[in-house]
Structure 1
Amino acid sequence: MSTYYCLVAGLPDISLDDGKLSYSVSDFKAELYPDLSAQDRKLIDLFYLKFDNTAILKLLKNKDAVIEDKGNFSAEELLQLIEAVREGDTPDKKYPSYLVNFVSQYLQLSQDELYRADDLLAALYYSYGMSSNNAFIASWFEFNLNLNNILAALAARKYKMEVSSVIVGATSICEQLRTSNARDFGLNETLEYFEALQRIADIEELVEREKKVDMLKWKWLEDESFFHYFTIERIFVFLMQLEMIERWISLDKEKGNELFRKMIQDLKNEVQIPEEFRK
């Protein structure tokens, strides 16, 4: 439990300059990631895979595409994965199974089916995350899958679209969203956050709606990590909240500033120095 005491207590003093964070998810990868155990790095890798997802979609469409250097793999490594799958070779075991599976399926899509690529990758990624042996992180992936699917389903109904066509994944909740004709898809009693999502879906202003979604995610992270202190779960929460604040600052500098400073102060307040560190 005290494994990451020094890491949390030693978080850098972070300042804001012209509305930009001086510390980012990229800085975390470079500075704090090496201090984690090999097992815990794999859990943090689940977060950074979202950037690999974006990158590999671009590279599959254009091998010369410029990608952000934020994920677990470089452009060269992702191109090597694509080439290995294309040639029928066995990819290096360093690549997560869902990414290999996605490239294989993508290469079999016809031109008329390429529009499905994003949803296909999302479904595989969420399934991979939900299979994590860390209960907290698996639940986080499931929560995000439910959140995105519910908002998509509510929007589809609003605009008279076929709900089943916008649902990603193969969980029981996914199936209920695809098949239920009930106003709440029969989920109001199953998911405590369903009503909150209904209210968010009714917000017309896009930036305000995005903020409300992030606030709901923030609350989930705080509630579910309440009894985690210096564990990898708390580090994961810090990383997720850091990413959200980066987005908030781009939308609302004052709000992002306020939330960021609150997050850092909360982390510092959690630190109770063990006796051996006081000597």
Structure 2
Amino acid sequence: MSSQTRNYYGLVSSLPNLMADGSILPDEGNLATQYADFMHPNDLALLKLAYMPADHANLLNQLYNRQQPYNHSGNYTPQELHTIIALKWLPNPYLDDFFTQWWQHYGKTESYAQAETALAGYYHRFLLTCENPFLQKWSRFVLELTNFSLLQYTTHGLPDMQNHLVAKEEVAYLTGKYNALSEQEALIPVTQTADIWNTENPMEREKMLDDLKWQFIENEQFFYFFGIEKVIGYALQQQIALRWYHLRNSGYTASAANLPSKNLAALVSQLISSIYQQPASTL
């Protein structure tokens, strides 16, 4: 999907401001759908990748017959997802890998949580080879933050999540005991992330983790100006802002009385998806 740099001056200039704290309701629309007619096909394909976690949730809900609301942030309609499940149309090669290498062998025996971990792994391995430096670096950052957070669970009295590390071979320098090499090799601020996990309030902890994502996007897209990377970065921040708007306005409080049970599927689901509503740290 590599391509020469193309600028989208009008599109980037027209994007409204986003607030990381969720104080303003962002547009909930999928930018790839809204601006498909104005983008080069290669750039459109890259932008769609930013919204694929929503498609993953919708896809797995159908595969496991879960009665969950359809996530409208995704790229594909329920009917298109049916076509994907039937293997009649696979918009990305990693979906073919997921179905042929994992689902056909383990789909009937493994849990939803395992399927979600596997699908996220195929997705991130694909991003790491998509030949777009911005998406490659974002994927590695998310893998590091996700897996490092999963490794903190037992330390903080939560279930052992070693078996749910996502594409762990891609960030092997973080999956062992913390050492100085981790800090040198990692994109995430390892010491700062470890300190965040010492925060007792789960809502505050989750917000600080999302703030790391937000700042990473800000820093990495800065010099792209009007390229597709600027639009992709906006789409990623849009999803973070939307998540926090719903959390801030849902009447949620992080008291022990209303925290959900530590359900494994929910734990994995919240951590490996960049589009979700419930704070991962509270599960």
Q: TM-score, normalised by structure 2?
A: 0.74
Asked if 2 retains the 8 angstrom alpha-carbon contact of 1:153 and 1:166, the reply is: no
Asked if 1 retains the 8 angstrom alpha-carbon contact of 2:18 and 2:241, the reply is: no
Query: Which consecutive residues of structure 2, in runs of 5 or more, have no partner in the other structure?
Result: 250-283
Aligned residues: 240
The one-letter amino acid paired with 1:208 is E
Deviation for aligned residue 1:196: 1.4
Which residue number corresponds to residue 234 of structure 1?
Answer: 230
1:68 aligns with 2:55: no
Instruction: Tell me: CA distance 1:205–1:33, structure 2 relative to 1, closer, same or farther (3 Å).
Output: farther
Cα distance in 1 between the residues matched to 2:189 and 2:60: 31
Cα distance in 1 between the residues matched to 2:63 and 2:84: 11
Which residue number corresponds to residue 36 of structure 1?
Answer: 39
The one-letter amino acid paired with 2:13 is A
> Deviation digits for residues 131-171 of structure 1, max 9, x if unmatched?
11111111101110111000111223444865632322143
> Deviation digits for residues 71-112 of structure 1, max 9, x if unmatched?
22221122122223xxxxxx33x5211112223322321654
Instruction: Tell me: CA distance 1:199–1:147, structure 2 relative to 1, closer, same or farther (3 Å).
Output: same
Asked if 1 retains the 8 angstrom alpha-carbon contact of 2:128 and 2:135, the reply is: yes
- How do 1:2-17 residues align onto structure 2 when only pairs under 5 Å count? 3-11=7-15
* Residue of 130, 151, 173 corresponding to 1:176: 173
Instruction: Tell me: CA distance 1:64–1:6, structure 2 relative to 1, closer, same or farther (3 Å).
Output: same
* Residue of 119, 133, 137 corresponding to 2:117: 119
* Residue of 213, 218, 237 corresponding to 1:222: 218
Cα distance in 2 between the residues matched to 1:37 and 1:4: 10
Which residue number corresponds to residue 199 of structure 1?
Answer: 195
- How do 1:131-146 residues align onto structure 2 when only pairs under 5 Å count? 131-146=129-144
Range with bigger deviation, 158-167 or 125-134: 158-167
Which residue number corresponds to residue 49 of structure 2?
Answer: 46
Which residue number corresponds to residue 106 of structure 1?
Answer: 103
Asked if 1 retains the 8 angstrom alpha-carbon contact of 2:144 and 2:174, the reply is: no
Query: Which consecutive residues of structure 1, in runs of 5 or more, have no partner in the other structure?
Result: 85-90, 254-279
Deviation for aligned residue 1:189: 2.5
Deviation for aligned residue 1:119: 0.9
Cα distance in 1 between the residues matched to 2:17 and 2:84: 39
Which residue number corresponds to residue 264 of structure 2?
Answer: none
Q: TM-score, normalised by structure 1?
A: 0.75
Asked if 1 retains the 8 angstrom alpha-carbon contact of 2:153 and 2:160, the reply is: no
Cα distance in 2 between the residues matched to 1:196 and 1:14: 25
Range with bigger deviation, 59-68 or 97-106: 59-68
The one-letter amino acid paired with 1:124 is Y
Cα distance in 2 between the residues matched to 1:13 and 1:213: 21
Instruction: Tell me: CA distance 1:150–1:22, structure 2 relative to 1, closer, same or farther (3 Å).
Output: closer
Asked if 1 retains the 8 angstrom alpha-carbon contact of 2:7 and 2:227, the reply is: yes
1:188 aligns with 2:183: yes
Deviation for aligned residue 1:58: 0.6
Instruction: Tell me: CA distance 1:188–1:161, structure 2 relative to 1, closer, same or farther (3 Å).
Output: farther
Cα distance in 1 between the residues matched to 2:83 and 2:14: 38
The one-letter amino acid paired with 1:156 is T
- The Cα RMSD (Å) is 2.9
The one-letter amino acid paired with 2:196 is I
> Deviation digits for residues 205-261 of structure 1, max 9, x if unmatched?
1211111011111111111122110111111111111221112222346xxxxxxxx
Cα distance in 1 between the residues matched to 2:120 and 2:170: 17
The one-letter amino acid paired with 1:205 is N
Structure 1 or 2, whichever has the larger Rg, is 1
- How do 1:18-29 residues align onto structure 2 when only pairs under 5 Å count? 21=25, 23-26=27-30, 28-29=31-32
Paired-residue identity, % = 24
